[in-house]
A and B are shown apart, each in its own frame.
Chain A
């Protein structure tokens, strides 16, 4: 309850801060729409030359993209701001202040700031997802949706853990703003259905750098017959969560205040 209260206070503060600059608020919504459009454009253009890639037709890819956008919105709303500013937090020594607070440091670092702008975007992309599902030509059954939502939660958890690993690197080397950009590049492997990749790369995005579990596996299990990923995803997400916790605590031990 204590943590929920703290989180709600942080959310309120973030909301007020976002509303401070109204034009910027609206512009950011518009910019996100541009990002969604650009992501969609590549598949819309590719499918104007072919009807199927790796067994996925355009309608199925639209469902995949809807999932990607929804998950991205959730990530951006609750976590992204914190991780994007993490390098600055370390470099300026502000992390020291957070470490002295009587709450869990990982909680504070991960959820201190929110981005309420994405609440509006979430409504928008959920609308797109609904449109994509209703134009699929077949409606997945309730069990498929149950699996989908469970795997989506696992996907969000995997995303969080992977991002935390990168934050731990910053904790150790201090000045590495560009580590964030490296993460974004690697994350791009997860923004395409994993069936598109050759088998060795599929193994890589499921087991080594499991970005394939974030969006692709939930979408696959919703649209097609479930495979082993239905069990692998929850297992890996739990394992990663434990590892991420250890990595964070280990990183803190090696952290020598950057401000002193």
Chain B
């Protein structure tokens, strides 16, 4: 089974964002994150896999994904695959230095 069709957070135009500046920011319910397990010393790193319907000038990866998601679902899946590869290699690089030297 591969990657399912990406679900993109609904677009919120910049003008709407600006209108919301003074409104309440949507905060995450704390319960979800505080429920995470405790960890041993020195084992907590945080990685991110975030997919938004971004404006085209945010981070390079987000922009590429948003651009392709609008035009071609297959291209979007390919971009998500690349992001997953980035994350996996990042994790592996951390694991590697935990047990070895350069």
Is chain B a partner of chain A in the same complex?
no
Q: Which residues of B contact A (CB under 8 A)?
A: none
Q: Which residues of A contact B (CB under 8 A)?
A: none
